[in-house]
């Protein structure tokens, strides 16, 4: 597997500029001869499809929802980072770069992160131009808030609906291109395989989820922007439909999968209520700007609260442990996500957890309301408070919120080089689906930044460069008549037939739940060698059971949510094993990956820079063969590796 990262030569700050200059260009009149396939219509996919169409390429865009406006980017609440330094508080491209590399626990690629920070300011400009109604000050200028892992105020926001507004911005640009006929949009279509011709990605096989029709689509290149794999845990903050299938199918066709064990557990989610639960709901990290996180100091107090004998508001000040402020005085409640999550788990492990399950801590706005007034808090977080009350029935203006960590984001993903091209030439990967920018932990408000950076400002250049290199004579030459399409289509159909014919007794949802329990227990917030080995064994057994005892009702030739889930769960099961393998291989703790064998005396993550400063990239070797590990060494020329400290 060739892991040439293709990082341009030259000083860090000039790499992107000089790379853009050295790229091959495609003459505007020739662009209409090329067809580009974009899978996914979220921030990365939607923005890329719109931008490539604006440049003149013909784009076919696919999404599994009934409209591109529904991609899960829409659910991001808190904000988007950008190095604008509008607050005059010391921000800069370099500082955003540094914070992101440090926040990622020194496991991201320097050059990619720098480019991300560099284009961040352009994103805000672009979004405002497209009509995104960011929050503003009375003077009419853009407002900012601060977010975890940063000591400057660089986060732009649109109430608690930033992701929605940014996505609607990209969606409106995409809609314009659909209206102009430059983008052909395929709603309710799911990608089930990647097609390679002469080693290059040249198409996809999709299923029309309404009619069940399997169809072939050819293009000059393929862009995957299919999001993360958090739903491998069954319960996560992801939308119900989020899945790993497109990425996993590409992996099976030869794309390297990097760092699958890097998953982010978000500290501020609403605690689990019971076993009928289908998803977890995130409360934006921005709440930690004003909310104070605490757990009772004493186990007995916690017990009384759990049993409803004591109201949280009646707990005396000296009975409360504001543990983030105590342990990390300089960052306090704004400590990064991985650290905050582990601290909450620790408090609950000590028996100091609240909520009926004992798996919860408080996020308290009492002091903020006293200081700024209820109106100011309402202005900042009104919709989040409403959402909390709607779900739990508690009023957070009166009683503290209860929160617990939940799976939220996946930093791992398909390996890409500096051009966001995977190990398969002609297949590009953007947004959460790739691995490149967040290392082992993502900072808050950086996912939106990365999705739009890839979609608006990176892919439109690097895809053009690839197409330019292929030459205009090759444009549009591959058609769906190529035997590779027939082979892939037959494989997809055979797989669906197999699902339909197993005739067992257990539903896809039940398998999914069981898989989720295994990975959450053993590859969640804390991981051990023994647990991971057990998990791998259990997942293999689950896989056997799945293929022999799956129960599938309905038909393949129409809308069938059970069939959709079966296909996704089948891939999640195999992927879950890969994730555990990666976690087992990485004998260190870094960011969201915490190996209990590797921690300091006071329970902080202990990295092993000497042996693990690399991206672990897995190559598929067959259904029953072990995948092969390849390594991309991470070279730090501009940042000195240090122990992350937020104290």
CA dist., res. 502 & res. 217, Å (int):
29
What are the two backbone dihedrals, phi and then psi, of residue 268, each rounded to the nearest 5 degrees? -115, 80
CA dist., res. 291 & res. 388, Å (int):
14
Instruction: Please check whether residue 21 is in contact with residue 426, taking contact to mean a CB–CB distance below 8 angstroms.
Output: no
Among 67, 330, 479, 530, which residue sits at the site for another protein (rule: CB under 8 A)? 67
Among 46, 460, 524, 576, which residue sits at the site for another protein (rule: CB under 8 A)? 460
The angle at the Cα of 558, spanning 555 to 563, to the nearest 5 degrees, equals 55
In this complex, which beta carbon is closest to another protein, that of residue 123 or of residue 194? 123
List 69, 207, 337, 586, catalytic entry: 337
Stretch that binds another protein, among 26-34, 71-79, 426-434, 486-494 (CB under 8 A): 71-79
Name the residue among 132, 18, 125, 8 with its Cα closest to residue 76. Answer: 132
183-186 and 58-62 as β-strands: parallel, antiparallel, unpaired?
parallel
Q: Least Å distance between CB 562 and another protein?
A: 6
User: Total residues at the site for another protein (CB under 8 A)?
Assistant: 82
Q: Least Å distance between CB 252 and another protein?
A: 26
C-alpha dihedral, 640 to 641 to 646 to 647, nearest 10°: -90
Contact set for another protein, span 256-275 (CB under 8 A): 273-274
The angle at the Cα of 321, spanning 318 to 326, to the nearest 5 degrees, equals 110
Contact set for another protein, span 14-33 (CB under 8 A): none
The answer to the question of residue 176 lying near another protein (CB under 8 A) is yes
Q: Least Å distance between CB 275 and another protein?
A: 9
State the greatest distance between any 2 C-alpha atoms of the chain, in Å, as a whole number. Answer: 77
320-321 and 292-296 as β-strands: parallel, antiparallel, unpaired?
antiparallel
The answer to the question of residue 333 lying near another protein (CB under 8 A) is no
Q: Which two tokens stand for residue 42?
A: 């979220």
Name the residue among 574, 545, 557 with its Cα closest to residue 497. Answer: 557
Q: Which two tokens stand for residue 404?
A: 């617990």
Signed CA dihedral, 293, 296, 299, 302: sign only: negative
Q: Least Å distance between CB 278 and another protein?
A: 5
Q: Least Å distance between CB 573 and another protein?
A: 19
The answer to the question of residue 133 lying near another protein (CB under 8 A) is yes
Residue 601 class from Cβ within 10 Å (0-12 exposed, 13-18 middle, 19+ buried)?
A: exposed
Contact set for another protein, span 567-626 (CB under 8 A): none
Give helix then strand counts, H and E, for the chain. Answer: 19, 19
Instruction: Please check whether residue 585 is in contact with residue 227, taking contact to mean a CB–CB distance below 8 angstroms.
Output: no
Q: Which DSSP letter does residue 427 get? A: E
Among 11, 90, 140, 622, which residue sits at the site for another protein (rule: CB under 8 A)? 140
The answer to the question of residue 296 lying near another protein (CB under 8 A) is no
Stretch that binds another protein, among 490-498, 549-557, 585-593, 628-636 (CB under 8 A): 549-557
Among 93, 152, 173, 617, which residue sits at the site for another protein (rule: CB under 8 A)? 173
Stretch that binds another protein, among 300-308, 472-480, 546-554, 631-639 (CB under 8 A): 546-554
CA dist., res. 630 & res. 647, Å (int):
35
Q: Which stretch of DSSP H or E encloses residue 619?
A: strand 614-619
The answer to the question of residue 87 lying near another protein (CB under 8 A) is no
CA dist., res. 444 & res. 336, Å (int):
8
The answer to the question of residue 278 lying near another protein (CB under 8 A) is yes
Q: Least Å distance between CB 137 and another protein?
A: 7
In this complex, which beta carbon is closest to another protein, that of residue 142 or of residue 526? 142
Strand partners, 254: none
Instruction: Please check whether residue 438 is in contact with residue 450, taking contact to mean a CB–CB distance below 8 angstroms.
Output: yes
Active site residue 337: yes
Contact set for another protein, span 494-533 (CB under 8 A): 507, 509-510
The answer to the question of residue 399 lying near another protein (CB under 8 A) is no
Q: Least Å distance between CB 442 and another protein?
A: 19
In this complex, which beta carbon is closest to another protein, that of residue 67 or of residue 643? 67
In this complex, which beta carbon is closest to another protein, that of residue 137 or of residue 198? 137
Stretch that binds another protein, among 2-10, 386-394, 610-618, 627-635 (CB under 8 A): 386-394
Stretch that binds another protein, among 146-154, 174-182, 214-222, 305-313 (CB under 8 A): 174-182
How crowded is residue 348: how many other Cβ atoms within 10 Å of its Cβ? 22
Strand order in the sheet with 257-258: 413-414, 257-258, 614-619, 628-633
The answer to the question of residue 139 lying near another protein (CB under 8 A) is yes
In this complex, which beta carbon is closest to another protein, that of residue 87 or of residue 600? 87
Q: Least Å distance between CB 75 and another protein?
A: 5
Among 72, 200, 337, 380, which residue sits at the site for another protein (rule: CB under 8 A)? 72
- Give Cα separations from 497 to 138, 288, 483, 510 (angstroms): 61, 49, 21, 20
Q: Least Å distance between CB 444 and another protein?
A: 17
The answer to the question of residue 74 lying near another protein (CB under 8 A) is yes
- Give Cα separations from 71 to 67, 225, 245 (angstroms): 8, 11, 16
In this complex, which beta carbon is closest to another protein, that of residue 52 or of residue 258? 52
The answer to the question of residue 129 lying near another protein (CB under 8 A) is yes
String marking each residue 429-458 x if it binds another protein according to CB under 8 A: ---------------------------xx-
Stretch that binds another protein, among 382-390, 428-436, 442-450, 541-549 (CB under 8 A): 382-390
The answer to the question of residue 207 lying near another protein (CB under 8 A) is no
Instruction: Please check whether residue 402 is in contact with residue 355, taking contact to mean a CB–CB distance below 8 angstroms.
Output: yes
The answer to the question of residue 88 lying near another protein (CB under 8 A) is no
How many Å is the Cα radius of gyration of the chain?
Answer: 24
C-alpha dihedral, 238 to 241 to 245 to 248, nearest 10°: 0
Stretch that binds another protein, among 238-246, 254-262, 362-370, 524-532 (CB under 8 A): 238-246
The answer to the question of residue 558 lying near another protein (CB under 8 A) is yes
Name the residue among 277, 267, 286, 189 with its Cα closest to residue 233. Answer: 277
- Give Cα separations from 10 to 100, 233, 636 (angstroms): 21, 42, 14
In this complex, which beta carbon is closest to another protein, that of residue 415 or of residue 511? 511
In this complex, which beta carbon is closest to another protein, that of residue 164 or of residue 263? 164
The answer to the question of residue 54 lying near another protein (CB under 8 A) is yes
Q: Least Å distance between CB 339 and another protein?
A: 25
How crowded is residue 318: how many other Cβ atoms within 10 Å of its Cβ? 7
Catalytic residues: 337
């Amino acid at each position: 597997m060739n892991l040439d990262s293709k990082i341009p030569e030259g000083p860090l700050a000039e790499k992107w500029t000089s790379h853009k200059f050295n790229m091959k260009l495609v003459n505007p009149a020739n662009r209409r001869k090329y067809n580009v396939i974009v899978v996914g219509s979220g921030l990365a996919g939607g923005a890329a499809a719109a931008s490539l169409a604006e440049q003149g390429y013909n784009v076919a865009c696919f999404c599994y929802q009934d409209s591109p406006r529904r991609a899960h980017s829409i659910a991001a609440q808190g904000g988007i980072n950008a190095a604008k330094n509008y607050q005059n508080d010391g921000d800069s491209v370099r500082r955003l770069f540094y914070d992101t590399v440090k926040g990622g626990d020194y496991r991201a690629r320097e050059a990619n992160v720098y480019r991300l920070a560099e284009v961040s300011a352009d994103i805000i400009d672009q979004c405002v131009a497209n009509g995104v109604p960011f929050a503003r000050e009375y003077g009419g200028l853009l407002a900012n808030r601060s977010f975890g892992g940063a000591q400057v105020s660089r986060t732009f926001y649109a109430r608690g609906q930033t992701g929605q507004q940014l996505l609607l911005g990209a969606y409106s640009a995409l809609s314009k291109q659909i209206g102009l006929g430059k983008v052909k949009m395929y709603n309710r279509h799911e990608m089930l395989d990647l097609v390679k011709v002469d080693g290059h990605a040249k198409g996809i096989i999709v299923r029309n989820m309404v009619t069940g029709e399997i169809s072939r689509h050819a293009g000059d290149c393929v862009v995957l922007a299919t999001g993360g794999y958090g739903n491998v845990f069954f319960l996560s903050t992801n939308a119900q439909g989020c899945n790993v299938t497109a990425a996993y199918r590409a992996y099976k066709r030869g794309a390297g999968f990097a760092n699958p064990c890097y998953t982010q557990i978000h500290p501020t989610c609403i605690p689990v209520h019971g076993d009928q639960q289908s998803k977890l709901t995130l409360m934006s990290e921005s709440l930690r700007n004003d909310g104070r996180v605490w757990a009772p100091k004493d186990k007995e107090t916690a017990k009384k609260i759990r049993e409803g004998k004591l109201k949280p508001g009646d707990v005396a000040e000296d009975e409360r442990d504001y543990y983030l402020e105590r342990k990390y005085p300089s960052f306090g409640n704004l400590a990064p996500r991985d650290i905050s999550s582990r601290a909450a788990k620790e408090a609950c492990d000590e028996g100091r957890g609240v909520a009926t399950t004992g798996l919860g801590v408080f996020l308290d706005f009492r002091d903020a309301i006293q200081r700024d007034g209820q109106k100011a808090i309402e202005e900042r977080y009104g919709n989040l408070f409403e959402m909390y009350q709607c779900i739990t029935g508690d009023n957070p203006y009166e009683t503290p919120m209860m929160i617990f960590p939940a799976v939220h984001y996946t930093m791992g993903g398909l390996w890409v080089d500096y051009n966001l091209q995977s190990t398969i030439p002609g297949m590009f990967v953007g947004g959460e689906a790739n691995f490149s920018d967040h290392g082992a932990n993502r900072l808050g408000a950086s996912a939106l930044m990365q999705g739009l950076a890839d979609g608006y400002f990176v892919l439109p250049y690097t895809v053009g460069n690839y197409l330019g290199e292929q030459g205009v004579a090759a444009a549009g030459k591959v058609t769906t008549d190529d035997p590779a399409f027939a082979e892939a289509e037959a494989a997809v159909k055979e797989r669906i037939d197999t699902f339909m014919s197993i005739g067992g007794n257990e539903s896809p949802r039940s398998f999914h739940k069981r898989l989720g329990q295994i990975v959450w227990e053993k590859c969640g917030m804390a991981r051990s060698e023994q647990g991971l080995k057990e998990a791998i064994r259990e997942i293999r057994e689950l896989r056997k059971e799945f293929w022999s005892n799956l129960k599938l009702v309905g038909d393949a030739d129409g809308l069938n949510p059970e069939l959709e889930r079966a296909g996704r769960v089948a891939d999640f099961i195999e992927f879950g094993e890969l994730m555990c393998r990666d976690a087992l291989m990485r004998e260190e703790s870094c960011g969201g990956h915490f190996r209990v064998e590797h921690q300091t005396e006071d329970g902080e993550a202990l990295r092993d820079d000497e042996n693990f400063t690399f991206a672990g990239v897995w190559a598929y070797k067959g259904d029953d063969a072990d995948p092969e590990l390849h390594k991309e060494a991470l070279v730090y020329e501009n940042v000195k590796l240090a122990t992350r400290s937020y104290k």
